[in-house]
């Protein structure tokens, strides 16, 4: 009987330890709030895919008690940039419109997508959900676009590609060019996915570009973004209403890089490699669009909001 009681006692303690471990952040926060009368978020370490670039539209922050809408935008960016799956923070007592602004931001899919453009694709979201209550507690939960197994497979393939095509004698422009050419030469644009959203290929993501060898603009852009991060070259993605491409910082200037348009679809099915959209300025980008008979309006494939992608405002 005594032995049975000991077993039950041990099992109960194991359950208690497991429950505490699973809810450590919330328990710590509640204990801290009880003793200090102030709620503070639990800050975890970022993952290895965090970017340390100094962007103009969004900033990585270490203070998580927002006083303004801009603070909220930067907190959402930091959550994503750090690769966190879940994060809870609290409104400032002086921020009267905090919950209204949280509701506005969390339902602004365009803005959330814009924030996502400044994140390493491995940390970008597939889904992002916000919950909050009247006390001012806000919790952001992130479902990432790429899982750990996919990232491992992608990393292995990209390491192979870089090792086989890049050497230390190349400067950054040469490295980007040879990898740009490799991706274009080994990938076909998935017109069926783009036009009908019906394709057997995972072409909207890196998986489709590297393993199916079919891609659409998001797949090309994600692939190049990860490559650029691996080369430690500052970059972000640029989105228009119907297209996405890469921005690259090189020689103290920001350039546009669009692998999709450098991999044109031909009526004969012949594969082509172009460099019309390889590291070009915004002015050159506009000229290329005119050359390709794109009108300069909201439906232009390369029309973008310079109030978001501020790096190009002075380019």
CA 194, CA 174: separation in Å to the nearest integer? 30
Mark which of 92, 111, 144 sits at the end of a domain: 144
- Residue 34 confidence (pLDDT): 47
- Residue 16 confidence (pLDDT): 66
11 occurs within a structural domain: no
- In tens digits, the chain (315 residues) has pLDDT values of 666 667 766 776 676 676 666 665 555 555 554 444 457 889 999 999 999 998 999 999 999 999 999 999 999 999 999 999 999 999 999 999 999 999 999 999 999 999 999 999 999 999 999 999 999 999 999 999 999 999 999 999 999 999 999 999 999 999 999 999 999 999 999 988 888 878 899 999 999 999 999 999 999 999 999 999 999 999 999 999 899 999 999 999 999 999 999 998 776 667 788 999 999 999 999 999 888 765 545 455 899 999 999 999 865
CA distances from 76 to 4, 102, 216, 231 (A): 50, 10, 27, 26
Asked if 297 and 157 sit in the same domain, the reply is yes
- Residue 194 confidence (pLDDT): 84
> Are the C-beta atoms of 142 and 131 separated by less than 8 Å?
no
Asked if 183 and 299 sit in the same domain, the reply is yes
> Are the C-beta atoms of 177 and 278 separated by less than 8 Å?
yes
128 occurs within a structural domain: yes
Domain count along the chain: 2
* Residues near 140 by beta carbon (within 8 Å), at least 6 away in sequence: 76, 79, 86, 87, 88, 128, 129, 130
210 occurs within a structural domain: yes
Mark which of 144, 179, 213 sits at the end of a domain: 144
Cβ neighbours around 295 below 10 Å, total: 10
Asked if 123 and 170 sit in the same domain, the reply is no
Helix, strand, coil abundance in the chain, percent, nearest 5? 45, 15, 40
17 occurs within a structural domain: no
Asked if 116 and 166 sit in the same domain, the reply is no
Q: Is 233 left (phi over 0), alpha (psi -120 to 50) or beta?
A: beta
Asked if 96 and 194 sit in the same domain, the reply is no
307 HSE (CA, 13 A, CB side): 1
82 occurs within a structural domain: yes
Asked if 196 and 172 sit in the same domain, the reply is yes
Asked if 100 and 221 sit in the same domain, the reply is no
Asked if 171 and 305 sit in the same domain, the reply is yes
User: For strand 137-144 and strand 86-90, is the pairing parallel, antiparallel, or unpaired?
Assistant: antiparallel
Asked if 111 and 205 sit in the same domain, the reply is no
Domain housing 295: 148-312
16 occurs within a structural domain: no
What CATH number does the domain containing 248 carry? 3.10.620
Residues composing the chain: 315
Asked if 186 and 274 sit in the same domain, the reply is yes
Asked if 152 and 300 sit in the same domain, the reply is yes
294 occurs within a structural domain: yes
268 occurs within a structural domain: yes
Mark which of 123, 144, 165 sits at the end of a domain: 144
Identify the three-state secondary structure at position 144. strand
Asked if 254 and 298 sit in the same domain, the reply is yes
- Residue 199 confidence (pLDDT): 87
User: For strand 188-189 and strand 214-215, is the pairing parallel, antiparallel, or unpaired?
Assistant: parallel
């Amino acid at each position: 009987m005594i032995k049975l009681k000991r077993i039950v006692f041990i099992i109960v303690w194991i359950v208690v330890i497991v429950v505490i471990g699973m809810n450590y952040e919330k328990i710590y926060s509640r204990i801290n709030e009880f003793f200090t009368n102030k709620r503070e978020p639990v800050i975890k370490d970022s993952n290895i895919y965090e970017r340390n670039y100094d962007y103009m539209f969004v900033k990585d922050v270490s203070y998580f008690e927002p006083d303004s809408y801009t603070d909220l935008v930067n907190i959402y960016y930091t959550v994503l940039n750090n690769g966190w799956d879940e994060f809870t923070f609290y409104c400032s007592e002086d921020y009267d419109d905090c919950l209204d602004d949280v509701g506005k931001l969390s339902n602004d899919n365009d803005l959330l997508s814009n924030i996502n453009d400044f994140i390493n694709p491995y940390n970008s979201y597939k889904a992002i959900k916000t919950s909050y209550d009247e006390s001012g507690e806000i919790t952001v939960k992130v479902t990432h676009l790429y899982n750990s197994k996919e990232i491992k497979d992608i990393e292995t393939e990209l390491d192979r590609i870089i090792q086989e095509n890049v050497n230390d004698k190349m400067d950054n422009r040469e490295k980007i060019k040879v990898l740009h050419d490799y991706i274009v030469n080994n990938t076909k644009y998935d017109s069926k996915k783009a036009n009908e959203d019906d394709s057997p290929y995972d072409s909207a993501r890196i998986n489709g570009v590297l393993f199916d060898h079919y891609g659409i603009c998001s797949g090309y852009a994600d692939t190049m973004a990860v490559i650029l991060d691996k080369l430690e070259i500052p970059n972000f993605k640029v989105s228009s209403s119907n297209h996405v491409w890469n921005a690259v910082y090189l020689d103290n200037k920001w350039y546009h890089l669009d692998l999709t348009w450098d991999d044109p679809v031909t009526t004969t099915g012949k594969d082509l490699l172009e460099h019309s959209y390889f590291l070009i300025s915004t002015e050159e980008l506009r000229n290329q669009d005119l050359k390709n008979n794109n009108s300069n309006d909201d439906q232009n494939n390369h029309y973008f909001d310079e109030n978001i992608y501020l790096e190009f405002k002075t380019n």
